[in-house]
Amino acid sequence: LVEACKAKALLRTCFATMLMSLTAAVWQGPSVSGDVGYNVATVVRIITHATGKHAHIVVFPELFLSGYGLDTDQLHQRALRPNSTEMEAIGRAAKKGCIAVAVGYPERGEDGEVFNSCAVWNCHGKLVQSYRKVNLWGSWEAATFARGDPTSLRAQDVAIRDGCTLKLGVLICFDLEFPEPSRCLALDGATVLVAPTALGMGAVESIPKSIVPTRAAENQTFVLYSNLEGPQEKETDPPFCGSSAIIGPTGREIARAPVVSDGGGVLLLGQLDIGGAEYATSVARNPYLQDVRDRLKDGFYAQYTRARY
């Protein structure tokens, strides 16, 4: 009987990981720079809203808990430890709603350094990951944040409702604009990539509709892309360009937000058929990941992965 139960549990885990349908939610909206308490309350409110829509996971933008429009000193003053009361409040909301949650925030590290991080809670309210951004954008981020270490790019098992487990990879904004981080996570087994973002208008505003679908297609993963919207605090900085999205493993748009929503925020919802027909057809036609593994094994990319760096 014990062995039968073990076999049943293993079968259920395999099935939940490889073939399941779930509802994903992506929040696009403004956060109030400097007001951590207000932003935490917003997260809890949106978690409740997403739960009412039967979502299994909800994703929030980059540095949502602090706001992006702060100088280095202001941001460091608002950095949170993963076990802070603010973070625990979000964990309780995740547990109450039985929903996985990913939120961008400034993390206070073990030695006092500050990271641009994304916290991930499973549906039981357990903090399972605090991903630290690897590719810091521009001189301000480089001067403000410590860089995540190479072990950051690992896919995580995240429990979601109905006894299923999601293989999740986390990237933050600029990370997604390089092909290598997404590929690392996909090769590590990630079926869904979450990408909290704070992207402004201007020359880069095409990224949500060009690079993001490309990352999904070339890695045959779903991408949950959550951007801020609206004006920034400094009038000289461009407004955030919105355009958050849920993208399928062929690069197809499942859901797309406008640049600015009506009412100061929008909750995108989309159905993810993990291991379903869209994924199977994509892999059968273009087995990108298997071909990459084979070529790496054969040493074809050695000059790219080693000698050039």
CA distance 155 to 3: 29
Placement of tokens 């797309």 in the chain: 256
Which secondary structure element, helix H or strand E, spans residue 167, and what is its range? strand 164-170
Query: Residue 300 has what DSSP assignment?
Result: T
Sign of torsion over alpha carbons 41, 166, 245, 147: positive
pLDDT value of residue 19: 61
Residue of 195, 200, 201, 191 whose CA lies nearest to 226 = 195
The low-confidence residues of the chain, meaning pLDDT below 50, are 1-17, 308-309
Which secondary structure element, helix H or strand E, spans residue 22, and what is its range? strand 20-28
CA 277 to chain centre: 24
CA distance 260 to 270: 19
CA 190 to chain centre: 11
Q: Is 268 helix (H, G, I), strand (E, B) or coil?
A: strand
pLDDT value of residue 10: 38
pLDDT value of residue 14: 40
Query: Residue 148 has what DSSP assignment?
Result: P
Give yes or no for a contact between 66 and 116, defined as CB atoms under 8 angstroms apart.
Answer: no
CA 72 to chain centre: 24
16-32: burial string, b at 16+ Cβ within 10 Å, e else: bbeebebbbbbbbbbbe
pLDDT value of residue 305: 66
Overall residue count recorded for the chain in this entry: 309
Give yes or no for a contact between 241 and 199, defined as CB atoms under 8 angstroms apart.
Answer: yes
Rg (CA), the chain: 19
CA distance 170 to 151: 12
CB burial class (10 A; 0-12, 13-18, 19+) of residue 146?
middle
pLDDT value of residue 187: 95
